[in-house]
Chain A
Amino acid sequence: MRMTATQRVDLWLRQATPIALTVLLAILSAVPIGIPGYTAVVPAYTAMAAFYWAVFRPDLQPPFALFLVGVLQDILAATPLGMTALSLMIVHGLAVSQRRAFLGKPFVLAWFGFVLIHALAAFLVWFLASLLALRLVGPEPAVFQYLVTVTLFPVVAWVFVRIHRYVVR
C-alpha cells in the first residue's frame, strides 16, 4: 500500500518524536529555573528518556542520534565532552539488552531496572569525572543527583507513556 505525502510526513514526524523529545530535555535541563539548589541536582532527564525509548521503542532511538544528544548536553552543561554521551550509550545498551524483562510487566519492574542501570551509568560518570579531574570528586552531589533522578523517573515516564500512546503510537 502506498502512502500519500502527508501520511509520510506524518509518520516521519511521529517517528522522530522520541529523539526530538530527548533533545528538548537536554536543552531544558540547562535552563535556569531558580529553585534553590536545583542546579546541583538537576535530574538526568535524558537518561530517563534513553531508558524509556530503549525499552519500549528501540527502533526509534538510533544509538548515533542518542550519542549526538549526549554530546549536545555535554556542551550545554560544560561537562567533559563525551561524558554524558557515554552514560547515555550505556543506559541505552543495557536497557535494549534487558528489555524483554520489562516488556508487558508491571511498571515497578521497569522502574527497578532503571534504578539498577542508571546506578551503573552514574557511577561510571562519577568515576570518569574523577579520572579527568585527576582527583577524587566529592561523591555527594552525584549521589543526590542519582536519587533525584530515580525518584522522578515515574513522573517523567508517565509523560513519556502519554506521548508514546498518543503521538508516537
Chain B
Amino acid sequence: MARRPGSFTSVAQPVRSFWSRFAFALLLAGAFTLMLLGKADVLLVERFRTSVADALAPVLEVLSRPAASVADTVAAARRLRDLRAENERLRVDNDRLERWQHVARRLEAENKALRALTNYVPEPAVAFITARVIADAGGAFVRSAMINAGSDQGVRRGLAAVTGDGLAGGVVELGSRHARVLLITDLNSQIPVVVERTRDPGVLAGDNTRLPRLVYLPQNAQVLPGDRIVTSGHGGVFPAGLPIGVVTAIDDGSIKVMPYVDWNRLEYVRLLDYGLDGLVRPAAGTPPFTLMGPERSDRGRLLGLAPK
C-alpha cells in the first residue's frame, strides 16, 4: 500500500514533539547533574571551566577596555569639579603625613637596630604581578573577579590580590591566560586575620554583602569600632600584615568589617608572591579517589579555614 505523503508527517509530528519535550527534560536533568558534579569538585569540570574561561579571556579583555575608559572619563569629570576642595584636603593631609614620615623614619631606624640585636629572621622578598580586572561578574551569589594574567605570567593559586588600599582576595582558579580572584566579601572566603590593636586572632568570613563578618574571636576579645583588621599569616596562604579593613559596627555577636578596597574601582590588582606555598598539602602519593585529583585539596582550604 502506497503511503500518502501526509501520513508520514502525521506520524513524525508527535514523535518530534515528544522528542522536544524529552530533550527539555533531559536538559533540566543535565543542569542538575552539572551542579552536583561542580559541587563534588570533579577535576574534569574544573578543567572544562578553566579552559572555556581561558578561551574567552581575550574577548573579555577587549570588551572591558571601552567600559573602563568610559568609567575613567566620568571619574575624571567628577575629579575636575572637586579640584579645589581636593587640593585643600591634600595640603592638610600632606602636612600630617610629613609628620608621620618623620615618625616612620625614626621607627625604621630603631627597628633595624633592634632586628640586628635580636638576630631576627627577615621576611622573604616579595614579587609582584599586576593584572587588569577583565570581568567582575557574580550577580547575587558570587563575589569574584577575573584577571588577565594566568600561569603563563607566573600566577599561582593562593596568591594574595591587593589594590593600593588593601587586600582584595586570593587566586582560586587558574588558567593559562586568566585567573579568578575570590573576593574577601564572597560567601566562601574565610581569611585568618588579627585585630591590629589587640592582636586578637579571628577569621574574616564573607557573606556576599559589602561588609564581611569577623568570627571565631577569642572569648575575651575587646574589639571596638575603628579597629584595623590585618591578615595574620596563619595557615600560610596570605602573608601577615596586609591591611584588610576597619571594624564598623558591632551588634551582639556580629562584628562587621568595612574593607579598604573600593569595590567600584577594582580595575587593577597586584598579586603578591611571597614564595609561600602555604596550602596544606595532601599526603604524599596520589589520593585514593582518582576522580578528585590532587588539586581538590587546594580549593577548600585555600583561603584558610573553609569548613569541610
A→B interface (CB under 8 Å): 27-37, 39-42, 44, 63-64, 67, 70-72, 75-83, 85-86, 89-90, 93, 125-126, 128-129, 132-133, 135, 137-138, 140-142, 144-145
Contacts and interface: CB of A to CB of B under 8 A. Distances in A.
A34 B35 contact: no
B7 to A, nearest CB: 24
Interface string B47-61: 001001100100110
DSSP majority for the B interface? helix
Given A81-B49, A82-B32, A86-B31, A76 B56 contact: yes
Nearest to B262: A36
Nearest to B72: A34
Contact of A81 (B35, B67, B138, B187): B35
A64 B23 contact: yes
Contacts of A132: 35, 38-39
B9 to A, nearest CB: 17
B35 A138 contact: no
Chain B residues touching A, range: 35 or more
A82 B52 contact: no
B139 A79 contact: yes
Contacts of A70: 31
A163 to B, nearest CB: 19
10 contacts: A29-B137, A31-B67, A34-B70, A78-B138, A80-B39, A82-B32, A85-B30, A128-B35, A141-B140, A142-B141
Interface in B234-264: 263-264
B34 A32 contact: no
Contacts of A129: 140-141
Most buried by A among B135, B139, B209: B139
Contacts, number: 160
B231 interface: no
B23 A75 contact: no
Given A125-B141, A126-B140, 6 more contacts: A27-B63, A29-B139, A82-B32, A85-B30, A137-B187, A145-B140
B33 A82 contact: yes
A82 B23 contact: no
Interface string B18-40: 00100110011011111101110
Given A31-B63, A39-B138, A129-B141, A63 B35 contact: no
Given A33-B70, A36-B264, A81 B136 contact: no
B68 interface: yes
